[in-house]
Amino acid sequence: MHLNFGHQLVAVDGPARRATFIHTHTDGRKEAVLKDFDLLHVVPPQTAPDFVRVSPLADAAGWVDVDPATLRHKRHANVFALGDCANTTNAKTAAATRKQAPVVAHNLLAALGHAKGEARYDGYGSCPLTVERGKIVLAEFVYGGKVAPTFPNWLIDGTRPSTLAWYLKDRVLPPMYWSGMLKGREWLAEPALTE
């Protein structure tokens, strides 16, 4: 599979099955690229909601401007952010939000004088990639794209499709999400603390 980074879709000619991209090169040079397609799957560019993008909390790109580890706003010490709206460079997943929530909770309590130490988020994100019915690649990584598997390799190899990862997503994660995460009951998302 060849990845074409820096390509922005700008036009689609449906009858001719042709898509036009603007390719921005690393030196800033822009070039129109035409591609023929049989099937086109388009995902719009990610943005924060409008009320975040236009607020003083946003960085130049429109995301809430937080410290990547403490999730505390870089300019407003009494503001924290987590989830898709933050400008952290992790993969924007609910799995990331799950790990960020206890970090924000701890640091918020610490800012109010009710907790000691500083919790730090390591950029964990998880993308369960469904590659066929019954098989998933459980890709887990932290900041910098460093692979960070939850399970030992012999149980679930995060670089290969596996049936066990499918069962994890299909059977284990839904109750964990509804009964654990959303109710604040989690035993595997304890944040690392520094003094």
Ligand X SMILES: Cc1cc2nc3c(=O)[nH]c(=O)nc-3n(C[C@H](O)[C@H](O)[C@H](O)COP(=O)(O)OP(=O)(O)OC[C@H]3O[C@@H](n4cnc5c(N)ncnc54)[C@H](O)[C@@H]3O)c2cc1C
Q: How far is the CB of 51 from ligand X (least distance, A)?
A: 5
Residue nearest to ligand X (CB): 83
Beta strands of 70-180 (E only): which ranges?
118-120, 125-132, 135-142, 146-147
Strand-pairing partners, residue 35, are 19
Query: For residues 20 and 179, which CB has a smaller minimum distance to ligand X in the complex?
Result: 179
* 51 part of the interface to ligand X, by CB under 6 A: yes
Rule CB under 6 A: choose which of 20, 58, 68, 128 binds ligand X. Answer: 128
Q: How far is the CB of 94 from ligand X (least distance, A)?
A: 3
Classify the phi-psi angles of 154: left when phi > 0, otherwise alpha if psi is within -120 to 50, otherwise beta. alpha
Q: How far is the CB of 88 from ligand X (least distance, A)?
A: 11
* 92 part of the interface to ligand X, by CB under 6 A: yes
Rounded-to-integer distance, Cα 169 and Cα 77, Å: 37
Give the type of residue at 82: L
Q: Which listed range, 2-10, 90-98, 102-110, 176-184, lies at the site for ligand X (CB under 6 A)?
A: 90-98
Is the CB of residue 89 less than 8 Å from the CB of residue 143? yes
Rounded-to-integer distance, Cα 162 and Cα 38, Å: 29
Q: Which listed range, 18-26, 61-69, 83-91, 185-193, lies at the site for ligand X (CB under 6 A)?
A: 83-91
Rounded-to-integer distance, Cα 96 and Cα 85, Å: 12
Q: Which listed range, 2-10, 19-27, 53-61, 82-90, lies at the site for ligand X (CB under 6 A)?
A: 82-90
Classify the phi-psi angles of 71: left when phi > 0, otherwise alpha if psi is within -120 to 50, otherwise beta. left
- Total site size for ligand X, rule CB under 6 A: 12
Query: For residues 116 and 163, which CB has a smaller minimum distance to ligand X in the complex?
Result: 163
Rounded-to-integer distance, Cα 67 and Cα 122, Å: 11
Query: For residues 114 and 133, which CB has a smaller minimum distance to ligand X in the complex?
Result: 133
Q: Which residues bind ligand X (CB under 6 A)?
A: 49, 51, 83-85, 92-95, 97, 126, 128
